[in-house]
Structure 1
Amino acid sequence: MQKHNLNEPIIEEFIRRVRLVHAGASGKVNWDHIGDLKADDSIAFEEIQRRESRAADVQKLVVIKLNGGLGTTMGLTAPKSIIRVKAQYNFLQIIRHQIEKLRQRAGAPIPVLFMNSFNTREATLADAGIADINRNAPGNLPADFLQNMVPRLDRNTLLPIAGDAYKENDWCPPGHGDIYLSLYTTGILDRLLEEGYRVAFISNGDNLGALADPHALSFFLESKLDFASEVTPKTLADLKGGVLYHSLDPEDSAGRIELLETAQVPEEHIPDFQDTARFKYFNINNLWVNLEALRDRMRSGGLDLSLIVNPKQVNGRDVLQLETAMGAAIGHFQNTRVFIVPRTRFAPVKNCADLLVRRSDAYTLDEDTFALQMNPQRKLGEPVVKLDDAHYKKLDAFENLMPELPSLLHAESLEVYGPVLFDTPVAIHGRVKITNSNSTPLAISSLGRDILKDEDVIL
């Protein structure tokens, strides 16, 4: 790692994780330490909206977007953020418009920073308007900073597979929990504080519902919080989403709020973790961070976030990636809160089914904020879409089979099995399943209908 010019704090953090694995750490939690959140741990977003929003507070805000991921699950080798997601706009263009709208409303040149990986930086900065997105912000801030990279481990020997010569597949991002160390070691954190910024709103770049909210910002500052995490009601589609809990660990005298990710749950407790009666909300990775509190923690030894051991196979070799989650930082600060927010603040794209929902008429871009939001004409919750992975998992295949997007404005759910060619407009109402058992694509136009409602369709 030294030969590849990685900073000493990064090396020390990687060694900490490796030592944990060598000592037998699996990244799994002790279920007996999982307690329920207390009443005063959280506050409803509606209550926050009733609080005063102070105009001067936006001068202290910086927005940070995670942008290190490639669209590998969708068959891409390019950043997911350059995929067209709504009308002619890709993720980056929508984020740019959201920031411009926010700046106009606030009357302040609020900066936005992208945390890129070594895989995404070049394409991101080449996208229109991104490289100079902070040209009017004080402090000559860059548009991005780089996430660190660490070696993958051989699963059997627990030794790094990386050698002296750089090979891309030998290295990996260390999880989005690396954001705090990256901010610190790049000097960005100190620069932000020097320019008077005090709060960072951090979210995933593919969540186009995540907008910095002035009321939440003022509440965060007025309450003198160090860290806040947004959660939203869990549905059957969110059973794998991370949850927040109150620690019952006897060694944690503060009884802090902690984050629990699926990968940390012992196998026998997966049903408990997915119990929506107990865990009603899940973490959506919209975070509010006090930058002074973060700097103090980094200077006093760092965060030591909970380890996530992620087994992978790379070029036929079994490896481990040692990762952390950025939301886990909530357990390392004194003054923390959970914001219970509406689903409108969570509109991610993880796969082609999500992309269909966002591109469809079930979602629109708000004229005032450019937020991707559910169509006001829609009277139902978010449509649940399941597409056959054998035919729709990769973006190219998805777009080839869906030159005409179905209308989902009145859809509860849509399931598609086999290669179905959506070659003509069709509206989905209620619950619809479409099946083509042949290997050859069959066209939806062969039905001669423009509405499918509460039915199983066999082509």
Structure 2
Amino acid sequence: MGSPGLHQARDKMAAEGVDPVAIETFAHYYRLLEHGETGMIPESTIDPVDMPALADVDVPEDVAAAAIRRTAVIKLNGGLGTSMGMDRAKSLLCVRRGLSFLDIIARQVLHLREQYDATLPLIFMNSFRTSADTVDALARYESLPVEGLPLEFLQNKEPKLLAKDLSPVSWPKDPTLEWCPPGHGDLYTALRGTGLLDRLIAAGYERVFVSNSDNLGAVPDARVAGWFASSGAPFAIEAVRRTPSDRKGGHFARRKGDGRIVLRETAQTLDADKEALADLDRHRFTSTNNLWFDLAAMKSALDQRDGILGLPLIRNVKNVDPGDTSTPEVIQVETAMGAAIEVFEGSQLIEVTRERFVPVKTTNDLLVLRSDVYDIGQDFVLDQTADAIPFVDLDGDHYKLVGEFDKRFPEGAPSLRDAASLTVEGDWTFGRGVRVVGEVSLEASSAQRVAAETVLSSDA
């Protein structure tokens, strides 16, 4: 039987040609939602977790090389960068020297192929919104596709549900707003549904490295591949120490009930537990969203569960139009790919340095990436040149959107190598060769310009 709302959602997804397993996966979470499941992980049910550090692990060069030769790379590339005013794939953003995220990712992989004499397939999980632009941008790299494997596969989509009755929302003004992605936990459903999981196994690959396309620090590192292969683990995630900027973000913990590692996201934290969430001494590690999994173990788990891994539900409440709070409240049913760590017995965590975690979620992050805080070498790997990553906080009224941000740095990003922080309030345009030293704060009530070659310092 089932509820009318679920019937409507099923019919709507089928009419759109959504993969049947993706429809069944959605139905699984719909039923959880209907029965009041919130996906919350109370603090009382978890303990802090510890882990080895990559720096302390011995990985022989031959083990690393052998492991990377049996590795495939998947980049999550479904995001449009709408929070920064973009309507195309965020990975098309220019980073420096005319190179986009996609350019640098492609060149990182091509360099590693040559270095290790490895096939190292690079495959993008795109959304229907990012597919065409991504394929067009990568066409210049004729040697990038690997014979017998696609350069991309598409993530699934699902209907947004009205919060008041869980029926699929109808929005004739813009029907595209009726749909949402199911979170990056959809990776596993899409891999199986497209047949790519079986194709990778048939081609002789043993493991997959997955990361976000907006994180250029996430290079498919042979040492990590060697550690993972030697560990015998079915699943692993790279973790970093949390910093004050991570207080509101998710973290790893160990579930008291069965000892499994869990990834608790902010949306899964009770209000009463928000203080514990922010405690960096208690919960010390956050996810880079760089993960590794054994292909055979993943296939086995999915086959045993009829394609539904059963990741924890994330109930995400938004508006139909995310940019208009007057539009109806909707629920987006989501899962996080990192939550698969609790599905597999023997899953592992490994602590890595922040150089492997350089996500760009805002124009604050973009300014740091475009500055001299990082060098990009011949291997196209980011090398941190500063002792510490500076804190950047740009006025949202003037810098939040990429177009407005670019106008205010027409000659490029200022030097931030010697900066501790840069806070900008008001409308400031920066000339060529500006240097920021120490802690700098700029304020203005009218448009101002920082002249070329100016040194901004806390002593000035």
- For the structure 1 residues 191 and 35, does the alpha-carbon distance in structure 2 shift closer, same or farther, using more than 3 Å as the test? same
Structure 1 residue 106 corresponds to structure 2 residue 116: yes
Structure 1 residue 260 corresponds to structure 2 residue 264: yes
- For the structure 1 residues 365 and 147, does the alpha-carbon distance in structure 2 shift closer, same or farther, using more than 3 Å as the test? same
- For the structure 1 residues 164 and 403, does the alpha-carbon distance in structure 2 shift closer, same or farther, using more than 3 Å as the test? closer
Match among 310, 315, 332 for residue 309 of structure 1: 315
Q: Secondary structure at the match of 2:69?
A: helix
Match for residue 118 of structure 1?
128
Distance 1:130 1:312 in 2: 39
Distance 1:362 1:215 in 2: 24
Structure 1 residue 418 corresponds to structure 2 residue 422: no
Cα deviation for residue 57 of structure 1 reads 2.5
Match for residue 324 of structure 2?
none
Structure 1 residue 146 corresponds to structure 2 residue 154: yes
Distance 1:188 1:396 in 2: 37
Distance 2:448 2:141 in 1: 44
- C-alpha offsets along residues 37-88 of structure 1, whole Å, 9 cap, x if unaligned? 25xxx22111235445423322310011000000101001111000001221
Match for residue 388 of structure 1?
395
Distance 1:228 1:388 in 2: 38
Structure 1 residue 345 corresponds to structure 2 residue 356: yes
Cα deviation for residue 449 of structure 1 reads 6.7
8 Å Cα contact 2:110/2:144 also seen in 1: no
- For the structure 1 residues 22 and 444, does the alpha-carbon distance in structure 2 shift closer, same or farther, using more than 3 Å as the test? same
Structure 1 residue 48 corresponds to structure 2 residue 83: no
Q: Secondary structure at the match of 2:185?
A: helix
Match for residue 14 of structure 1?
26
Q: Secondary structure at the match of 2:286?
A: strand
- TM-score, with length taken from structure 2: 0.92
Structure 2: gaps of 5 or more residues: 1-12, 322-326
Distance 2:72 2:314 in 1: 28
Distance 1:122 1:183 in 2: 19
Structure 1 residue 269 corresponds to structure 2 residue 273: yes
Cα deviation for residue 157 of structure 1 reads 1.1
- TM-score, with length taken from structure 1: 0.92
Cα deviation for residue 134 of structure 1 reads 4.0
8 Å Cα contact 2:390/2:421 also seen in 1: yes
Cα deviation for residue 13 of structure 1 reads 0.9
- Partner AA of 1:43 in structure 2: P
Match for residue 91 of structure 2?
81
**Which has the higher mean CA deviation after the structures are superposed, 384-393 or 158-167?**
158-167
Match for residue 362 of structure 1?
373
8 Å Cα contact 1:134/1:142 also seen in 2: no
Structure 1: gaps of 5 or more residues: none
Once the two structures are superposed, the pairs formed by residues 169-184 of structure 1 within 5 Å of their partners are: 169-184=177-192
Matched residue pairs, number?
439
- For the structure 1 residues 307 and 132, does the alpha-carbon distance in structure 2 shift closer, same or farther, using more than 3 Å as the test? farther
Distance 2:35 2:183 in 1: 21
8 Å Cα contact 2:85/2:401 also seen in 1: yes
8 Å Cα contact 1:49/1:216 also seen in 2: no
Distance 2:162 2:244 in 1: 35
8 Å Cα contact 2:171/2:177 also seen in 1: no
8 Å Cα contact 1:162/1:171 also seen in 2: no
Q: Secondary structure at the match of 2:44?
A: helix
Q: Secondary structure at the match of 2:209?
A: strand
Q: Secondary structure at the match of 2:223?
A: helix
RMSD: 1.9
Match among 292, 299, 321 for residue 295 of structure 1: 299
Distance 1:195 1:106 in 2: 18
- For the structure 1 residues 91 and 49, does the alpha-carbon distance in structure 2 shift closer, same or farther, using more than 3 Å as the test? farther
8 Å Cα contact 2:376/2:383 also seen in 1: yes
Distance 2:313 2:261 in 1: 17
Distance 1:19 1:152 in 2: 15
Distance 1:314 1:451 in 2: 46
